[in-house]
Amino acid sequence: MGHIRVVRWGILGGFCLAAALWLTVSQLARAQQATIEGWFHILWYDGPPGSGIKGEIYVLIDDQGQEYRLQLDLKLTEPFGGVLALNRKRVKLVVEQTPGPLGQQGSVRVLSIQLGMAGALAGIEPISGPQPWVNLLCKFSDVSAEPQPLSYFTGLMGNTYPGLDHYWREVSYNNINIVGSASQNWKTLPHDRAYYGATGSGTSANLTALFNDCTAIHDADVYFPNFVGINLMFNDLLDCCAWGGSRTATLDGVNKTYRVTWEPPWGYQNQGVMAHEMGHGWGWPHSSGAYGATYDSRWDVMSDIWNTCPPTDPTYGCVGQGTISYHKDLGAWIPSARKFVPTLNTVTTIEIDRLNQPGSSTNYLMARIPIPGSSQFYTVEARRFIGYDGKVPAEAIVIHHVDATRANDAWVVDADGNLDGACVIPADDANCDPDDAGAQWMPGETYTDAANSIQITVNSITATGFIVTITYGNPPSCTNTGAIFRIERTTGNVCADGSFNSGGADVAEYVRVSEAVEPGDVLELDPTKPGHYRKARGAYSHLVAGVVSTQPGVILGARGQSEGKVLLALIGRVPVRATTENGPIRPGDLLTSSSKPGYAMRCESAHKCEGAIIGKALEALDVGEGVILMLLMR
Ligand SMILES: [Ca+2]
Ligand SMILES: [Ca+2]
Ligand SMILES: [Ca+2]
Whether pLDDT at 254 is above 70: yes
Between CA 299 and CA 379 the distance in angstroms is 13
Q: Which ligand is nearest to the CA of 412?
A: 2
Largest CA distance in the chain: 121
Alpha-carbon Rg of the chain, whole angstroms?
A: 36
Q: What pLDDT does 606 receive?
A: 84
pLDDT score, position 125: 78
Please tell me whether residues 489 and 371 are part of one structural domain.
yes
Distance (Å) from CA 412 to ligand 2 centroid: 9
Ligand with the closest atom to the CA of 251: 1
Q: Residues lining ligand 2 (ion), CB within 5 A?
A: 414, 416-417, 431, 433, 436, 438
Instruction: Label residue 244 by pLDDT band (50, 70, 90).
Output: very high
Segment 258-274 shows an average pLDDT of 97
Identify the pLDDT of residue 1: 33
pLDDT reported for residue 432: 82
d(CA 257, CA 196): 22
Domain membership of residue 294 (yes or no) is no
Statement to judge: residues 482 and 591 lie in one domain: no
CA 59 – CA 71 distance, rounded (Å): 9
Fill in the DSSP letter of residue 585.
B
Q: Rounded distance, CA 277 to CA 244, Å?
A: 5
Give the C-alpha separation, 154 to 181, whole Å: 8
Range 529-548 average pLDDT = 93
> Ligand 2 centre from 270 Cα, in Å?
28
Residue with the larger pLDDT of the pair 493 and 506: 506
- What is the rounded average pLDDT of the residues 120-133? 80
Helix axes 164-171, 271-282, angle to 10 degrees: 50
Q: 235, 189 in Cβ contact below 8 A?
A: no
C-alpha 226 to ligand 1 mean position (Å): 10
Q: Verify that 134 and 277 share a domain, yes or no.
A: yes
What pLDDT is stored for residue 21 in this prediction? 31
**Amino acid symbol at 150:** L
Predicted confidence band at 153 (pLDDT cuts at 50, 70, 90)? very high
| pLDDT tens digit sequence for 54-93 | 888 999 999 888 888 999 999 999 888 889 889 999 999 9
46 CA → ligand 2 middle, Å: 23
The stretch 452-468 carries a mean pLDDT of: 97
Distance 430 CA to ligand 3 centre (A): 15
Residues with CB under 5 Å of ion ligand 1 are 219, 222, 252
**Chain segment 386-432, per-residue pLDDT in tens:** 999 999 999 999 999 999 888 889 999 998 876 565 665 544 445 78
Half-sphere exposure of 269 (CA within 13 A, CB side): 14
For residue 490, being part of any structural domain is answered with: yes
Give the whole-number percent of the chain exceeding pLDDT 90.
69
Amino acid making up residue 539? A
Residue 208, pLDDT above cutoff 70: yes
Ligand 2 center from residue 439 Cα (angstroms) = 6
> Do both 579 and 624 map to the same domain?
yes
Q: What is the pLDDT, as a whole number, of residue 576? A: 96
In a domain, 44, yes or no: yes
Residue 317 lies in a domain: no
Average pLDDT in the 201-221 region? Answer: 96
463 with 471: CB under 8 angstroms? no
Residue 269 lies in a domain: yes
- Residue 39's identity, in one-letter code, is W
Q: How far is the CA of 269 from the centre of ligand 1 (A)?
A: 27
pLDDT for res 624: 94
> Same structural domain for residues 349 and 474?
yes
For residues 403 and 475, membership in a common domain is answered with: yes
pLDDT band at 117 (very low <50, low <70, confident <90, very high): low
Compute, in angstroms, the gap from residue 430 CA to the centroid of ligand 2. 7
CA of 440 to the centre of ligand 2 (A): 9
Strand partners, 567: 510
Identify the band that residue 8 occupies on the pLDDT scale cut at 50, 70 and 90. Answer: very low
Asked if 447 contacts 415 with a C-beta cutoff of 8 angstroms, the reply is yes
Compute, in angstroms, the gap from residue 217 CA to the centroid of ligand 1. Answer: 9
Which residues 6+ apart lie within 8 Å of 370 measured at CB?
A: 341, 376, 377
First to last CA, the chain: 92
Is pLDDT of 18 > 80? Answer: no
User: What count of other Cβ atoms lies within 10 Å of the Cβ of residue 150?
Assistant: 14
Residues 406 and 460 in one domain: yes
CA–CA–CA angle 331, 336, 337 (5° rounding): 140
Give the DSSP letter string of 47-66: PPTTT--EEEEEEEE-TT--
What is the arithmetic mean of pLDDT over 508-512? Answer: 92
Number of domains in the chain: 4
255 and 134 fall within a common domain: yes
Say yes or no: 445 and 523 in one domain.
no
What pLDDT, on a 0 to 100 scale, did the predictor assign at position 99?
Answer: 61
Task: Summarize pLDDT for 23-46 with one digit per residue, the tens.
Answer: 334 344 444 788 999 999 999 998
Is the peptide bond prior to 311 cis by the omega test (within 30 degrees of 0)?
yes
Element (H, E) at 26: helix 25-31
Which CATH number covers residue 56?
A: 2.40.50
Cβ distance 175 to 334 under 8 Å? no
Which of 495, 521, 549 delimits the end of a domain? 495
Report the relative pairing of strands 410-412 and 287-288 from DSSP bridges.
parallel
The predicted structure's pLDDT at residue 195: 97
Please provide the average confidence, as pLDDT, over all residues in the chain. Answer: 88
Residue 309 included in any domain: no
Which of 242, 146, 231, 229 has the alpha carbon at shortest distance from 198? Answer: 242
How far, in Å, CA of 549 to CA of 569, rounded?
A: 5
> 3-class DSSP state for residue 343?
coil
Shortest-distance ligand to the CA of residue 254: 1
pLDDT of residue 395: 98
Q: What is the Cα 159 distance to its own chain's centre?
A: 32
Give the per-residue pLDDT at 14. Answer: 30
Query: In the predicted model, is pLDDT for residue 363 greater than 80?
Result: yes
pLDDT band at residue 479 under the 50/70/90 scheme: low
Contact 7, 26 (CB under 8 A): no
For residues 535 and 514, is the Cβ–Cβ distance under 8 A?
no
pLDDT digits (tens, 9 = 90+) for 187-200: 999 999 999 999 99
Q: Nearest bound ligand to CA 445? A: 3
DSSP state of 549: -
Residues 355, 491 within the same domain: yes
Q: Compute, in angstroms, the gap from residue 289 CA to the centroid of ligand 2.
A: 9
pLDDT of 310 strictly over 80: no
Closest CA to 105 of 21, 211, 228, 30: 211
Contacts of 581 (CB under 8 A, 6+ apart): 594, 595, 596, 601
Q: How far is the CA of 141 from the centre of ligand 1 (A)?
A: 22
Helix, strand, coil content of the chain in percent (nearest 5):
15, 35, 50
**Coil, strand or helix: which one is 393?**
coil
User: Could you tell me where the beta strands, DSSP code E, fall in 450-589?
Assistant: 454-461, 465-472, 485-487, 494-496, 506-513, 522-525, 532-535, 544-548, 554-556, 565-579
Which residues in 237-279 belong to E strands, given as ranges? 242-251, 254-263
Tell me: do 407 and 526 sit in the same domain: no
C-alpha closest to that of 576 among 618, 608, 610: 618
The number of the ligand nearest the C-alpha atom of 411 reads 2
Tell which of 115, 145, 171 closes a domain: 115
Q: Are residues 37 and 93 in the same domain?
A: yes
Query: Tell me, what CATH number does 561's domain have?
Result: 2.40.300.10
On whether the CB atoms of residues 539 and 582 are closer than 8 A, the answer is: yes
Domain contains 322: no
Ligand 3 geometric centre to CA of 462 (Å): 17
Residue 387 lies in a domain: yes
Q: Is 52 left (phi over 0), alpha (psi -120 to 50) or beta?
A: left
d(CA 634, CA 632): 7
| pLDDT for 159 | 96
Which structural domain range is residue 341 located in? 334-495
Domain endpoint, select from 115, 139, 163: 115
